[in-house]
Amino acid sequence: MKKTGWLLTAALLLSGCQQIGGADHDQQEKPHEQSAAEKPKQQEKEAPAAFELDSAFFNEVKEAEGKKVITNPENIMVLVNKEFSLPGDYTPPDLVRPNVPFSFGEQDIEKSHMRKEAAAALEKMFAAAKQEQIELFAVSGYRSYKRQEEIMNNQIAKAGSFEKAAQAVAPPGQSEHQTGLTMDISGESVQFDLIQAFETTKEGQWLANNAHKYGFILRYPKGKEAVTQYMYEPWHFRYVGTKAAAEIYKQGWTLEEYFNHVKKI
């Protein structure tokens, strides 16, 4: 009996993550081999026995035209993905331009904005990185529903159909950038590009190891493509607050997995 129980436990532990391609953004890529430094953070850990979260931080949704539309989008922990969409007319009410270096200089444009709380946290994170001789550059923050429509329409023209385009670009309302809580971050070492090679740079590694201290999570981690439905993006960081970010980092979760584990109170 003890041997049988051990075999069943081993089988369960080995039933790990599945992988699937996807992209917010430009193209699908097959995830490359996970580095030794990343593996401890990617391993699933036992969740706290009584991990609780106030109900206000969960999505409230309504059905509209076959979609689950979020009715509380100002929630700082809003979960936006291919299942839950933001309203087409939603614009965060407190967008500001964080005082950090941008890859495009001093232009005050749509993508240079974030929600106020997230922007303040970003400033702290960039300042902490600079103290350690790490030069970070913000690339793309807030993106409106209208702008996402333009990106999708361009992709449809290239791909030939919405279905094919949706494999590479998030449909309008399903891009996390519309929340104003996300920033794509890069560095001069990769010419400010948003590429997977960023993970091997000192900037990318610093972010992967320290972003949670300032309330940010690596939103689309390697090995979790089946969960997020997007490819691994070492540049895409999402603000959720320090408490949730610390737990997500500790457990090696995605935001989807976090909500699967926490208890609503």
Give domain status of residue 3, yes or no: no
86 lies in some domain: yes
Query: How do residues 60-95 score in pLDDT, each as one tens digit?
Result: 999 998 899 999 999 999 999 999 999 999 999 999
Which residues have a catalytic role annotated?
Answer: 233
The answer for residues whose C-beta is within 8 angstroms of residue 263's C-beta and 6 or more apart is 50, 51, 52, 53
Flag whether 136 is in a domain: yes
Model pLDDT for residues 200-229, shown as the tens digit of each residue: 999 999 999 999 999 999 999 999 999 998
Domain that holds residue 169: 23-264
**What single string gives the DSSP state of each residue in 24-90?**
SSS------PPPTTTHHHHS--PPPTT-EE-GGGS--EEEETTEEEES-TT-TT---SSSEE--TT-
Instruction: Confirm whether 87 is domain-assigned.
Output: yes
Residue 152 located in a structural domain = yes
Tell me, yes or no, whether 97 lies in a domain: yes
Kindly give, in sequence order, each residue whose CB lies less than 8 Å from that of residue 244, ignoring residues fewer than 6 positions away.
Answer: 53, 77, 215, 217, 258
CATH of the domain at 100: 3.30.1380.10
> Can you give the pTM of this predicted structure?
0.80
| Number of domains the chain contains | 1
Is residue 13 a part of any domain in this protein? no
Report the run of H or E that residue 161 belongs to, with start and end. none
Each residue's pLDDT, cut to its tens digit, for the chain (265 residues) gives 444 443 333 333 333 333 333 344 433 344 444 444 444 444 455 555 458 899 999 999 999 988 999 999 999 999 999 999 999 999 999 999 999 999 999 999 999 999 999 999 999 999 999 999 999 999 999 999 999 999 889 989 988 888 877 766 788 999 999 999 999 999 999 999 999 999 999 999 999 999 999 999 999 999 999 999 888 999 999 999 999 999 999 999 999 999 999 999 9
In angstroms, the CA 197 to CA 228 distance is 20
Cβ–Cβ < 8 Å for 95, 115: yes
